[in-house]
Amino acid sequence: MSYKGNFKIWRGDDESGGLEDFIVEVNEGEVVLDIIHRLQATQAPDLAVRWNCKAGKCGSCSAEINGKPRLLCMTRMSVFTEDETITVTPLRTFPVVRDLVTDVSYNYQKAREIPSFAPPKNLGLGEYRMKQQDVERSQEFRKCIECFLCQDTCHVIRDHEENKENFAGPRFLMRVAELEMHPLDTEDRVREAQDEHGLGYCNITKCCTEVCPEHIKITDNALIPMKERVADRKYDPIVWLGNQLFRR
């Protein structure tokens, strides 16, 4: 069963652009990326879109569908009604390269700013041991496909370009949390999260968790525990005393 669907697709670059109307055939079982490909094949051969796996695993096809950050390849056409106009726009938080393709290099810059895993220096081979529950805790975070939908939706940078310098965003605060929860890591991740990666900007709106296609509980399992560790360090008198002694 097929029908003609109405689409508005954003065309342009960072300087100028706008929504263009298209009528495209929609077939049973298709996803929004199928429609974009049909549009390229039949009406707009120069339409730019980034994609790779068409299986929700590479994180390339991130865009906004009816204003919501989504993966184009994982959004089924069956979630829309046949008479609905579907609007596809590029991620709003990042500069547009062309059409639906954005420049997500902000995210790679933030990734580079996080010091890598730092195990104790004198551990030998075979001494890297951790408990199963610690493995499981970080495994949830390792499901991330780096689609940056969480980064796109977080209001701290979505509406405030000026915050980008000081805020790593949920995906990378989650990376800091993952390292902090690693029993062998020796870096002071709690201080780094607060002072260098902007944890304090997050006011727990949970929008990042809502859009994550891997259903990672970014806010509950990474951001809130990090905030609790920051608060413990600041207000717990024993932790405070330990820090004072340790610094001497």
Could you tell me which residues are beta bridge partners of residue 76?
31
Q: Which residue from 22, 51, 148, 172 is in contact with ligand SF4, where contact means CB under 6 A?
A: 148
Residue 36 interacting entry, from ligand SF4, ligand FES, ligand F3S, none, C-beta within 5 to 8 Å by type: none
Residue 235 φ/ψ, nearest 5 degrees: -110, -20
170 part of the interface to ligand F3S, by CB under 6 A: yes
Query: Would you say 60 or 107 has its CB closer to ligand FES?
Result: 60
Buried b / exposed e along 41-69 (16+ C-beta atoms within 10 A): eeebeebebbbeebebebbbbbbbbeeeb
Query: Would you say 74 or 184 has its CB closer to ligand FES?
Result: 74
Buried b / exposed e along 183-195 (16+ C-beta atoms within 10 A): eebebebbebbbe
User: What are the Cα distances from residue 51, in Å, to 34, 101, 108, 141, 155?
Assistant: 11, 9, 18, 23, 25
96 part of the interface to ligand F3S, by CB under 6 A: no
223 part of the interface to ligand F3S, by CB under 6 A: yes
Q: Contact region for ligand SF4 (CB under 6 A) — 27-35, 147-155, 196-204, 239-247?
A: 147-155
30 part of the interface to ligand SF4, by CB under 6 A: no
146 part of the interface to ligand SF4, by CB under 6 A: yes
Q: Which residue from 8, 54, 206, 217 is in contact with ligand FES, where contact means CB under 6 A?
A: 54
The single-letter code of the amino acid at 47 is L
205 part of the interface to ligand F3S, by CB under 6 A: yes
In the complex, least distance from residue 171 CB atom to ligand SF4, rounded to whole angstroms: 4
156 part of the interface to ligand F3S, by CB under 6 A: yes
Residue that has been written with the tokens 């800091």 in this structure: 176
Sequence-distant (≥ 6) Cβ neighbours of residue 121 within 8 angstroms: none
222 part of the interface to ligand SF4, by CB under 6 A: no
Measured distance CA(197)–CA(192) in Å, rounded: 6
27 part of the interface to ligand FES, by CB under 6 A: no
Which parts of this chain interact with ligand F3S (CB under 6 A)? 154, 156, 170, 202-208, 219, 223
